[in-house]
Amino acid sequence: DAGVIQSPRHEVTEMGQEVTLRCKPISGHNSLFWYRQTMMRGLELLIYFNNNVPIDDSGMPEDRFSAKMPNASFSTLKIQPSEPRDSAVYFCASRGDRAGYTFGSGTRLTVV
Amino acid sequence: TQLLEQSPQFLSIQEGENLTVYCNSSSVFSSLQWYRQEPGEGPVLLVTVVTGGEVKKLKRLTFQFGDARKDSSLHITAAQPGDTGLYLCAGGGTYKYIFGTGTRLKVLA
């Protein structure tokens, strides 16, 4: 298994632009999580899906952030419009029943 | 709001030394996990503990879950440069885990 695959690995964009981050979870894992990591705030849970359904999006910072999971093998996190304070490493993780998370390698987002 | 505080925040030691990292909360968790994260990569699961008082060993790493399931510790014996990284605890329930503040360990050769 290739693990959790995220793309792109790095993204540099200008303030105001739309950013889309992508994630392919491990086949058979029924839960998917989006986290954001910064030095100041550590790992913050943004949203998680169970069986493709959003269960808890209370961590999504504001309406500029949205996430979708159209099928079991794909999820996106979109920021529109992006702001410099959104700069962080965004991780996707998937989890099967009674298992720990498997994280992707992350997307390092820089908004200038 | 559930919070997990880890201490120390930073630790720099010489190869061969022992160390202990702590993870504390005022909340009770049904299970607790430890992860290690290396630069440029996502966290990697080391262990899951589910029973109060449980002790698990993974080679030179010893993990303990507190009796009240509110705290945990990670002890490393004879640290090696390969142990360098960010250690994260995560307390969880049915669906999701809350991550601790992290301990950044550097082991010098």
Per-residue pLDDT tens digits for A12-57: 999 999 999 999 999 999 999 999 999 888 999 999 999 999 999 9
Q: Are A34 and A84 in contact (CB under 8 A)?
A: no
Dist. CA B27–CA B100, nearest whole Å: 12
- Residues 6 or more apart from A24 whose CB is under 8 A from it? A4, A5, A6, A73, A74
- Residues of chain A whose C-beta is under 8 A from some C-beta in B? 4, 31, 33, 35, 42-43, 45, 48, 50, 55-56, 91, 93, 100-106
pLDDT at A87: 97
d(C-alpha A112, C-alpha A13), whole Å = 6
Q: Using 50, 70 and 90 to split pLDDT, how confident is the model at A96? A: confident
Rounded Cα–Cα distance for residues B8 and B21 (Å): 7
Q: Is there a contact between A43 and B99 if contact means CB atoms under 8 Å apart?
A: yes
- A57-84 pLDDT, tens digit per residue, is 999 988 999 999 999 999 999 999 999 9
- Spatial separation of the C-alpha atoms in residues B28 and B14, rounded to whole Å: 34
B49 Rama class: left (phi>0) / alpha (psi -120 to 50) / beta: beta
In the predicted structure, residue A91 carries a pLDDT above the cut 90: yes
The two structure tokens encoding residue A28: 């058979």
What residues have CB less than 8 Å from B5, skipping those under 6 apart?
B23, B24, B25, B100, B101
**Amino acid A83: pLDDT:** 96
Strands B31-37 and B85-92: antiparallel
B40/A103 Cβ within 8 A = no
DSSP B30: S
Per-residue pLDDT of chain B (109 residues; tens, 9 = 90+): 568 999 999 999 999 999 999 999 988 998 999 999 999 999 999 999 999 999 999 999 999 999 999 999 999 999 999 999 999 999 987 678 889 989 999 999 9
**In the A/B pair of chains, how many CB contacts fall below 8 A?**
46
What is the per-residue pLDDT for B2? Answer: 63
**Residue B93, both tokens:** 């329930």
Residue A97 has pLDDT above 80, yes or no: no
Write down the pLDDT at residue A2: 79
* Alpha carbon A76 to its chain's center: 7
Query: What span, in angstroms and rounded, lies between the C-alpha atoms of A54 and B80?
Result: 42
Given a cut of 80, is residue A98 above it in pLDDT? no
Question: Is the separation of the CB atoms in A64 and A79 below 8 Å?
Answer: yes
